[in-house]
A and B are shown apart, each in its own frame.
Chain A
Amino acid sequence: MARTTTKQAAEPVLELRGVSKRYGRALVLDKIDLTLAEHEVVCLIGASGSGKSTLLRCADLLEPIDAGSITLEGRAVSADDRDADATRRQLGIVFQGFSLFPHLTALENVALAPRVALGLTAAAAEKRARALLKQLGLAAKANAYPDSLSGGQQQRVAIARALATEPKVLLLDEITSALDPVLVAEVLEALRALAKGGATMLIATHEMAFAADVADRICYLEGGRIIEHGTPGQIFGAPRDARTRAFLKRVRSVGASALR
């Protein structure tokens, strides 16, 4: 991933056009249009069930889509492609539930994909893994197994693991939702550092203050549709759509935790 500090919107890295997804009869994503420029950070907000997680999983080619197209750096990609595995290496995703590999140490968790999927030598993969763990403040935990790490540390290992294939885009699915409030801060801090480093990120989150702080753009989802998108200032300061206003009002009155 490029590590420049300039944050100017350039050519689109990831582009979703008219993406729809059904589970049985339920329409979970309804003609989603979304463009992510290089170094851009976009936050998806919306209540649970609004389609944020499905959008990320479809963008990562983990779920086939029913209509529309996904373009990565100008190339049409699909979960049904023969080289979908190769495409997934260019997309990093971090899940809410960490999903670390419990039989591997933190270092081995991060080094696995570079070694196995990218074909790096064991030494080169380990070197890259150590650098990433250091970047996320986990240098001392390289040989620890996931069980012995705190939730925040596990989630940072998961971020390091997702970065290990040097993805063009990092997708983050409510990665602080399963954490104690005290541990949320350290994970959000790690994401801020990544954003400053020029990472291109698509983040589903319930942390509104964090979204306002780190995002270049905010998309509000409801019923599988992007209802409204704009800068944080515009979405939080002067939302145009009544549904966005209602959602934000609810968030402010009950607190984000009640939306999980």
Chain B
Amino acid sequence: MTAARSARKGTLVAVISTLVVATLLAIAIGSSPSWPVVQKAFFDGTYFSTSLPDVIDAFFINIQLFVLAEMLILPIGLLIALARSVTSPALAPLRIFATIYTDFFRGVPSILLIYVLGFGVPALRLPGVPSEPFFWALVTLVLIYSAYVSEVYRAGIESIHPSQERAARALGLSRLQALRYVVLPQALRRVVPPLLNDFIGLQKDTALVSILGVVEAFKQAQILKSANFNFTPLMTTALIFLVITIPMTRLVDRLAAKDRAAQQGGAR
């Protein structure tokens, strides 16, 4: 038997066994006496189709939020990572500040920060300080995820062997030039999978800003749920989040596998 034929046979067996198990599960759940009640409360077809347009509409707020946040987090996270990597004694305050920053924002619950910044700061009515919940939601997510992302960047920078910087310095490049042309290009390539991983977390966390009254997908679903005493709109929202996050998770897996293959392929 050829390898290709045996692989095809393997796939066939996998498909059949999965179908059999899924069918059995469906029959078992469907025939359970409490299923109709569960289905009516969570998976009602009518509520699903009526809630879908509203939830999708509201989800554009989530998209706006995470796209804007990601665009801000990428450079800010890098600056914090660089600040933590400085070795010059004169710049020690910068390093200390960056360390405190990452410790603090990684260690405090996101929902607490969103609450404090989103309700607390606007309540001060400081002149010139915006009070829109969307603005504070964005600020909080950027603050928190910049801390996570800076650690990802830092791990990437530190994964580049010191001989690379030494070789660049030996050629007469300054420390900054060595970083810019030799260390960072290699480090950034390595951090793409963990970076996307953090962004998946960020995209889910956009639902947290609902506590500020921003009508994004989760808040919209809650409103619809309360109006009809039915949980289906929340399932609709879950589905929309999954449509975005699952492909990204697969992409991360694939990139990570490619990275491993490249590194085992003799890359230094």
User: Does B181 contact A116, Cβ atoms closer than 8 Å?
Assistant: yes
The reply to whether A89 and B163 form a contact with Cβ atoms under 8 Å apart is: no
Which of B164, B170, B171 neighbours the largest number of chain A CB atoms within 10 Å of its CB?
B171
How far, in Å, is B90 (CB) from chain A's closest CB?
Answer: 14
Residues of A within 8 A of B182 (CB): 101, 112
CB contacts (< 8 Å) of B174 on chain A: these are: 85, 117
> Roughly how many angstroms separate A146 CA and B182 CA in the complex, as a whole number?
14
A140–chain B nearest beta-carbon distance, Å: 21
A147 touches B268 (CB 8 A): yes
- In the complex, A60→B172 CA distance in Å? 10
Contact of B173 among A87, A99, A117, A162 (CB under 8 A): A117
- Scan residues 109-143 of chain A and give those whose CB is less than 8 A from a CB of chain B: 112-113, 116-118
In the complex, which residues of chain A have a beta carbon less than 8 angstroms from the beta carbon of B268?
100, 102, 146-147
Tell whether A185 is near chain B: CB-to-CB under 8 Å. no
Min CB–CB distance A59 → chain B (angstroms): 11
Is A188 located at the chain interface by the 8 A CB criterion?
A: no
Q: A101-B182, A103-B185 are in contact. Are A88 and B170 (CB under 8 A)?
A: yes
The answer to whether the Cβ of A93 comes within 8 Å of any Cβ in the partner chain is yes
Q: A112-B181, A146-B268, A147-B265 are in contact. Are A99 and B171 (CB under 8 A)?
A: no
Contact of A223 with B by CB under 8 A: no
Q: Are A62 and B173 in contact (CB under 8 A)?
A: no
Q: A230 on the interface (CB 8 Å rule)?
A: no
Provide the residues of chain A in CB contact with B171, threshold 8 Å.
88-89, 112-113, 117, 161-162, 164-165
A95 interfacial contact with B, CB 8 Å:
yes
Neighbouring B residues of A99 by C-beta, 8 Å: 163-164, 166-167
Contact in complex: A95, B173 (CB < 8 Å): no
The residue in chain A whose Cβ has the minimal distance to the Cβ of B174 is A85
**A144 CB within 8 Å of chain B:** no
A86 near B: Cβ within 8 Å?
A: yes
Chain B window 152-174, contacts with chain A (Cβ cutoff 8 Å), 1 for yes, 0 for no: 00000000000110111111111
**Is A12 close to B, CB under 8 A?**
no
Q: Are A102 and B267 in contact, CB atoms less than 8 angstroms apart?
A: yes
- How many chain A residues touch B (Cβ–Cβ < 8 Å)? 28
Query: B186: which of A62, A92, A103 is its contact (CB, 8 Å)?
Result: A103
Q: Does residue B109 face the partner (Cβ distance < 8 Å to A)?
A: no
Give min CB distance, A87 to chain B, whole Å.
8
B177 interfacial by beta-carbon distance below 8 Å: yes
Contact of B267 among A92, A95, A116, A147 (CB under 8 A): A147
Specify which chain A residues have a CB less than 8 angstroms from the CB of B127 in the assembled complex: none
* Smallest beta-carbon distance A210→chain B, Å: 23
Verify if A97 is at the interface (C-beta below 8 Å from B). Answer: yes
Name the distance in Å between B180's Cβ and chain A's nearest Cβ: 8
Instruction: Specify which chain B residues have a CB less than 8 angstroms from the CB of A100 in the assembled complex.
Output: 167, 268
- Bound-state Cα–Cα, A116 to B178, Å: 10
Q: Does B266 count as interface, using CB distance less than 8 angstroms?
A: yes
Q: How far is the CA of A154 from the CA of B26 in the complex (A)?
A: 60
B189 sits at the interface (CB 8 A): yes
Complex CA gap A100/B268 in Å reads 9
Minimum distance in angstroms from B38 CB to a CB of chain A:
54
| B173-A113 in contact (CB<8A) | yes
Q: Which residues of A contact B168 (CB under 8 A)?
A: 101, 112
| Chain B residues with CB below 8 A from A118, complex form | 172
Q: What mask results when residues 154 to 166 of chain A are scored 1 for a CB within 8 Å of chain B, else 0?
A: 0000000110110
Fill in one digit per residue for A71-107: 1 if any B CB lies within 8 Å of its CB, else 0: 0000000000000011111101101010111110000
Given A146-B268, A147-B265, the answer on whether A116 and B169 have CB atoms closer than 8 Å is no
- In angstroms, Cα B162 to Cα A95, docked, is 13
Contact between A116 and B173, CB atoms less than 8 A apart: yes
Interface string of A25-45 (1 = CB under 8 A from B): 000000000000000000000
Q: How far is the CA of A161 from the CA of B267 in the complex (A)?
A: 20
A120 to chain B, nearest CB (A): 13
B186 partner residues in chain A, CB cutoff 8 A: 101-103
Chain B, Cβ-Cβ closest to A115: B181
Q: A62 contacts B172, CB within 8 Å?
A: no
Residues of B within 8 A of A103 (CB): 185-186, 189
What are some 10 contacts across the A-B interface (CB < 8 A)?
Answer: A62-B166, A85-B174, A92-B170, A100-B268, A101-B186, A102-B267, A103-B185, A116-B177, A117-B172, A147-B265
Query: A-B pairs with the 4 shortest C-beta distances?
Result: A89-B172, A99-B167, A113-B171, A117-B172
Q: A95-B167, A99-B167, A165-B172 are in contact. List 7 more A-B contacts (CB 8 A).
A: A88-B172, A93-B170, A101-B164, A102-B268, A103-B185, A116-B173, A165-B171
